[in-house]
């Protein structure tokens, strides 16, 4: 939507402003990441509600706003030409559903404005030696940015208000608030909470987190119900928790079995499903949800290597090992060395050594598992030991952990290609 307002008055955009905007525009994503980090550092009201998705949604809003500010200044256009970015509108609606106030939204824009202005004005000062020209460029930029924030804030207030009215007209907000209270560990009467949710909390629960970038909320909710049906019968509890995330609980009176229905379930394209383990009562409701979030985090770290459905019980070790991701990545690099190369040959060696360790050092069992000859297994293990500089049985626990991280998380924990390194070999 294009903002309609009176034509902004003022002089033509100074060349220094247009040149700097053109130079910074390709760096919008990098600038947005720094701004996003600043906002979460400065705003506990965002930090305390962050489930991973909120940070990503805020980042997307930062990036489109920064890109628009730079693009308009590059073109010499006025702030009245701004268009409300889809990502910014989705972020405002997401704040409503998370119970985050309008004041927080406006404060985020004020802090973002101040942060961007500090860096922009410093760049102008460094590149424009003529003091009068620099002052003129700063005055023009300052007027532009204040007008931009003023205009887009008006539109976002309206967007936030419309979404809040829509949510408040339904029972969705009450359900969302009740779920938030349960997950936060607040004292609640179980029967009252069950009535508010329309969902019996005394049952056995399996929690799911359904997410999909670029998917409409209705499509996510439909996918969430399909995923819950794959877990078990009965009406699930479905709560939209972000612009691109839905949390789901599937309940049953009896403990569920091994959830074999999930093995055949295939989500729609672009939809990711993370699943916790079964748990009973309010504590089980909360614990299974935490596990679903952890499974979703592992899937996010694995990037394109992740399956469409990630079950916590299958990635629990990786979730624990990668709880401090920078240290986990360093651990993989230290333990695997050249074996952490991101190529197919090293990948085959890692797969073989991991299977070898899990099989207790039985080349026969590994050969059957991987459908290769025993001599191939022996050769790969020997080649891996050459790259490691030690026997694979010297530190089997640490090596198994590092190989497991590499197997599940893939390129996100593997080393960059190193020119001059010998190939890993078959």
Q: Rounded to a whole number, what is the distance in angstroms from the first to the last CA of the chain?
A: 56
From first to last of the 426 residues of the chain, give the pLDDT tens digit.
444 333 344 578 999 999 999 999 999 999 999 999 999 999 999 999 888 789 999 999 999 999 999 999 999 999 999 999 999 999 999 999 898 999 999 999 999 999 999 999 999 999 888 889 999 999 999 999 999 999 999 999 999 999 988 887 777 788 889 999 999 999 999 999 999 999 999 999 999 999 986 666 678 889 999 999 999 867 899 998 888 899 999 998 888 878 878 888 999 888 999 999 999 999 999 999 999 999 999 999 997 777 899 999 999 999 999 999 999 999 999 999 999 999 999 999 999 999 999 999 999 999 999 999 999 999 999 999 999 999 999 999 999 999 999 999 999 999 764 433 333 333
Q: Which of 328, 337, 332, 329 is nearest to 385 (CA)?
A: 337
User: Which residues are CB-neighbours of 414 under 8 A, at least 6 positions away?
Assistant: 332, 340, 341, 342, 406
What is the percentage of the chain residues whose pLDDT exceeds 70? 93
Contact at 8 Å (CB) between 13 and 76?
Answer: yes
Both tokens of 368, joined, read 């059957």
Pairing of strands 279-280, 272-275: unpaired
The number of CA neighbours under 13 Å toward the Cβ of 354 is 19
Q: What span, in angstroms and rounded, lies between the C-alpha atoms of 271 and 29? A: 24
Asked if the 15-168 domain carries CATH number 1.10.10.10, the reply is no
Q: What span, in angstroms and rounded, lies between the C-alpha atoms of 255 and 278? A: 7
Both tokens of 85, joined, read 């970015």
Q: What is residue 10's predicted lDDT score, i.e. its pLDDT?
A: 54
The number of CA neighbours under 13 Å toward the Cβ of 405 is 29
The dihedral built from the CA positions of residue 353, 359, 360 and 363, taken in this order, carries a sign that is negative
User: Which residues are CB-neighbours of 381 under 8 A, at least 6 positions away?
Assistant: 352, 353, 356, 363, 392
Q: What is residue 76's predicted lDDT score, i.e. its pLDDT?
A: 93
Q: What span, in angstroms and rounded, lies between the C-alpha atoms of 88 and 156? A: 8
For 424, the enclosing helix (H) or strand (E) is none
Rounded (10°) CA dihedral 178, 184, 187, 193:
20
Q: List the beta strands (DSSP E) in 188-339.
A: 204-211, 237-242, 245-252, 272-275, 279-280, 309-311
Class of domain 324-412: mainly alpha
* Apex 282 CA angle, 281 and 288, nearest 5: 90
Both tokens of 149, joined, read 């924030």
* Backbone phi and psi for residue 206, each to the nearest 5 degrees, phi listed first: -125, 120
Contact at 8 Å (CB) between 386 and 424?
Answer: no
Contact at 8 Å (CB) between 84 and 152?
Answer: yes
Contact at 8 Å (CB) between 302 and 412?
Answer: yes
DSSP code at position 372: S
Q: What span, in angstroms and rounded, lies between the C-alpha atoms of 185 and 265? A: 32
Length of the chain: 426
Domain boundaries, the chain: 15-168, 203-320, 324-412
Both tokens of 375, joined, read 């001599």
Q: What is residue 9's predicted lDDT score, i.e. its pLDDT?
A: 41
What Rg value do the Cα atoms of the chain yield, rounded?
Answer: 26
Q: What is residue 216's predicted lDDT score, i.e. its pLDDT?
A: 67
Class of domain 203-320: alpha beta
């Amino acid at each position: 939507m294009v903002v309609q307002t009176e034509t902004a008055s003022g002089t033509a955009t100074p060349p220094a402003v247009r040149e700097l905007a053109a130079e910074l525009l390709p760096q919008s994503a990098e600038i947005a990441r720094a701004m996003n980090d600043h906002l979460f550092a400065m705003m506990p009201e965002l930090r305390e509600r962050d489930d991973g998705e909120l940070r990503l949604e805020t980042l997307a809003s930062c990036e489109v706003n920064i890109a628009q500010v730079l693009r308009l200044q590059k073109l010499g256009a006025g702030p009245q030409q701004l268009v409300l970015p889809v990502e910014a509108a989705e972020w405002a609606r997401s704040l409503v559903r998370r119970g985050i106030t309008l004041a927080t939204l406006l404060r985020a824009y004020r802090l973002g404005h101040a942060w961007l202005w500090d860096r922009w004005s410093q760049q102008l000062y460094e590149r424009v030696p003529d003091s009068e020209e620099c002052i003129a460029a700063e005055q023009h930029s300052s007027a532009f940015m204040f007008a931009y924030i003023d205009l887009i804030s008006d539109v976002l207030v309206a967007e936030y208000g419309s979404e809040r009215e829509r949510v408040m007209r339904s029972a969705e907000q009450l359900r969302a608030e009740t779920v938030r209270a349960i997950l936060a560990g607040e004292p609640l009467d179980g029967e009252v909470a069950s009535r508010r949710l329309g969902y019996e909390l005394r049952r056995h629960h399996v929690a799911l987190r359904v997410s999909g970038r670029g998917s409409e909320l209705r499509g996510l909710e439909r996918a969430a119900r399909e995923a819950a049906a794959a877990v078990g019968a009965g009406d699930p509890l479905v709560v939209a928790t972000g612009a691109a995330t839905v949390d789901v609980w599937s309940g049953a009176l009896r403990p569920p079995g091994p959830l074999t229905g999930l093995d055949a379930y295939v989500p729609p394209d672009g939809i990711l499903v993370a699943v916790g383990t079964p748990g009973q009562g309010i504590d089980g409701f909360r614990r299974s949800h935490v596990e679903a979030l952890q499974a979703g985090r592992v899937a996010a770290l694995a990037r394109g290597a992740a399956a469409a459905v990630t079950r916590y019980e299958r990635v629990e070790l990786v979730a624990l090992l990668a709880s401090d991701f920078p240290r986990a990545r360093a651990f993989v690099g230290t333990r695997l060395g050249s074996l952490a190369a991101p190529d197919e040959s090293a990948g085959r060696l890692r797969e073989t050594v991991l299977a070898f360790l899990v099989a207790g050092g039985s080349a026969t069992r590994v050969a059957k598992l991987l459908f290769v000859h025993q001599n191939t297994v022996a050769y790969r293990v020997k080649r891996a030991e050459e790259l490691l500089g030690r026997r694979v049985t010297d530190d089997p626990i640490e090596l198994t952990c590092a190989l497991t991280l590499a197997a599940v998380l893939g390129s996100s924990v593997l080393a960059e290609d190193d020119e001059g390194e010998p190939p890993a070999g078959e």
